[in-house]
Structure 1
Amino acid sequence: MNLFEAIGKQMQYPQGLFGKILFAWMTRNTIAHARWTLSLMDIKPDDHIIEIGFGNGANIELLLQRAPGGTVTGVEISQTAIEMASKKNAAAISRGKVQLHLAAGDALPFAADVFDKACTVATAYVIADPGAVFREMYRVLKPGGRAAVTFPVRENFMKFKPVRATGFYLHPLADLQQAFRDAGFVHSRTERNDAVRFGANCMLGEKAVVK
C-alpha cells in the first residue's frame, strides 16, 4: 500500500496513531469551515443539535457554546474519533450535554423528528452515497429543523495531491445539491466562502412543515 492509498483508507476510517494525526490535520484545515457553518445555522440557545462526522470533537465544543441550554449529539464511524472527542468534551459529557455514538451517517440510531439542527462538515467527499446521509439527516430533524452540509470547493480541493488517493468521491456540486433536495429539504440554498482553505460550499435547507 502506497502513501496515497494509506491516506485514502484513513480518510474513510481514521484509526490509531495515523488517524489521530489525520484528525489533527483536518481540524486545522477545516475549523474555519466549521465556524462559518455555525454562523449560517441560526442556532438557538436551547437547540438539540446533531453533528455527523465530528472528527476530534472540536466543532462539538463550538456547537455547545451556541446552544448552552441544549444538547449536542455526535455520530462517527471511527472509534479513534470517539476516544479523542470524549476526552476533549469530557466535562460536557459528564453533564449530559454531549452524547457521542459510533454509527454510520446513513443509519442514524435515533427516532424521527428529534433534532432542531443537523450539520456535517468536510465529510461529503469521503462518502460514496451522500444522498443516503442527507435522507437520514432529514428524517431525524423536527419539522422546520435546519440542516447544513459544508465541504471544500471541488475545483480547489482537486489540486491537493492526497486527493489522488483511493477513497475520495469528488461529487460535483450540482449532484450534491440535487441529492440534498431529493432528500426532502426545502428552501435550500448554497453559500460559498472563498476566504477559508480550499474555499467552501455550504448547503442549507429545512425539513418541511406539514400543515
Structure 2
Amino acid sequence: MSLVGTILRNSFGRPKGLLGKIGGRILARTNRKCAAWVVDLLGAEPGERAIEIGFGPGVGLELLASAAPSAKIAGADVSEEMLRQAAARNKAAIENGQIELRLASVENLPFPDQSFDKALSINSLQIWPDPAAGLREVWRVMKPDGRLAFAFTPQSGRGREGLVSIFADSGFSEVRILEGEDGFCVLATKNRSPETCARDKSN
C-alpha cells in the first residue's frame, strides 16, 4: 500500500492512532448531515432494535438514539479509535442501556440471528474486504421484513454501479437507490435468502 493509501486508511478507512483521532473528528462533521438523512429514511419505531455497521465516531448512533429514544441500538466497528470516540459521544445512552457497542467486523457480527428490525451504514461498505459476505452477515442478523439504509457521500469514492445486484444477490429485495443532497442511499428489505437468490439466478 502506498504512503498516501496508508494515511487515508488510518484516517478514514479503519482509523487508528493520531491520524484516526483526527479523521474521526473530520468524519463527525462531514457525515452528520448525511447521517441525519439516513436516520430519517430508516424511521426506527418505538421498541425496535437497530444496528449501525461501521459507526465511526458515533454520530449516526447519536442521531438515531435521539430520534427513537425507546429503540435499542447496537453498533459494530473494526476500529478501536472509533469505538472510543463513539463511546464518549454516546456515554449517557450507553450507560442507560439504549446503545451497545461492539468491536467487530461485518463478516462476524456478534449477534444472534434475526436480532434487528433496522440496519444502517454510512460510507462503510466500500472498505469491506468482501462486501457480499458482509451483506450476507447483515442479512443473517436482521429480522424478516427488516429494512436497511446504506448511504454513500461523494467522499466515499463508491459509485452506484453494481450496488443493486450486490444487495439483491445477498437476499434483499425492493432494492432501490435514493438520491440526496449529500450523496445517495441504498434502501432494501429482507424477505428472501441468499440461497433462494442463487437458485433463482441459476434457473
TM-score past 0.5 threshold? yes
Question: 2: CA distance between counterparts of 1:17 and 1:50?
Answer: 27
**Residue 64 (structure 1) aligns with:** 65
Corresponding position of 1:53: 54
1:180 counterpart (164, 167, 179) = 167
| Bigger RCO (CA 8 Å, 6+ sep) | 1
Matches within 5 A, 1:112-127: 112-127=113-128
Q: Any conservation in 2 of the 1:44–1:66 contact (CA below 8 Å)?
A: no
Report what 2:101 is aligned to.
Answer: 100
Alpha-carbon separation, structure 2, partners of 1:7 and 1:203:
24
Deviations 1:142-196 (A, max 9, x none): 111101111124xxx4xxxxx8xxxxxx554232221111111111111011x22
8 Å Cα contact 1:150/1:202 also seen in 2: yes
Once the two structures are TM-superposed, the CA of residue 209 in structure 1 deviates from its matched residue by 7.1
Structure-1-length-normalised TM-score = 0.84
Greater Cα shift, 61-70 or 111-120: 61-70
Instruction: Tell me which residue corresponds to 1:160.
Output: none
Q: Indicate if the aligned counterparts of 1:56 and 1:85 stay in contact, CA closer than 8 A.
A: yes
Assess if the C-alpha contact under 8 Å between 1:106 and 1:132 holds in 2.
yes
Q: Distance in 2 between matches of 1:55 and 1:171?
A: 17
Partner of 1:201 in structure 2? 184
- The list of structure 1 runs, each at least 4 consecutive aligned residues, that deviate by more than 6 angstroms after superposition, is none
Q: Which runs of 5+ in 1 are unaligned?
A: 158-162, 164-169
Aligned-partner Cα distance in 2 for 1:53–1:24: 15
2:192 equivalent to 1:192: no
RMSD of aligned alpha carbons: 1.9
Q: Which residue of the partner structure matches residue 82 of structure 1?
A: 83
Q: Which residue of 1 aligns with 2:130?
A: 129
* C-alpha distance in 1 between matches for 2:10 and 2:88: 24
Specify the SS of the correspondent of 1:180.
Answer: helix
1:136 is paired with a residue whose SS is: helix
Matching residue of 1:27:
28
Q: Secondary structure at the match of 1:174?
A: coil
Matches of 1:13 and 1:174, distance apart in 2:
24
- Which amino acid in the other structure matches residue 29 of structure 2? R
Count of equivalent residues: 192
Which residue identity is paired with 1:192? E
What TM-score results when the alignment is normalised by the length of structure 2?
A: 0.87
**Identity fraction in percent:** 33
The 3-state SS of whatever aligns with 1:11 is helix
Does the aligned pair in 1 maintain the 2:171–2:192 contact within 8 Å?
Answer: no
Q: 3-state DSSP class of the match of 1:173?
A: coil
- 1:133-144 correspondence runs (5 A): 133-144=134-145
1:42 alignment partner in structure 2: 43
Whichever structure has more helix as a proportion of its residues is 2
- Is residue 131–residue 176 contact of structure 1 (8 Å, CA) maintained in 2? no
| Aligned counterparts of 1:8 and 1:99: Cα–Cα separation in 2 | 25
- What do the CA deviations read for 1:94-144 (whole angstroms, capped 9, x no partner)? 111111000001211111111010011011222232222211111111111
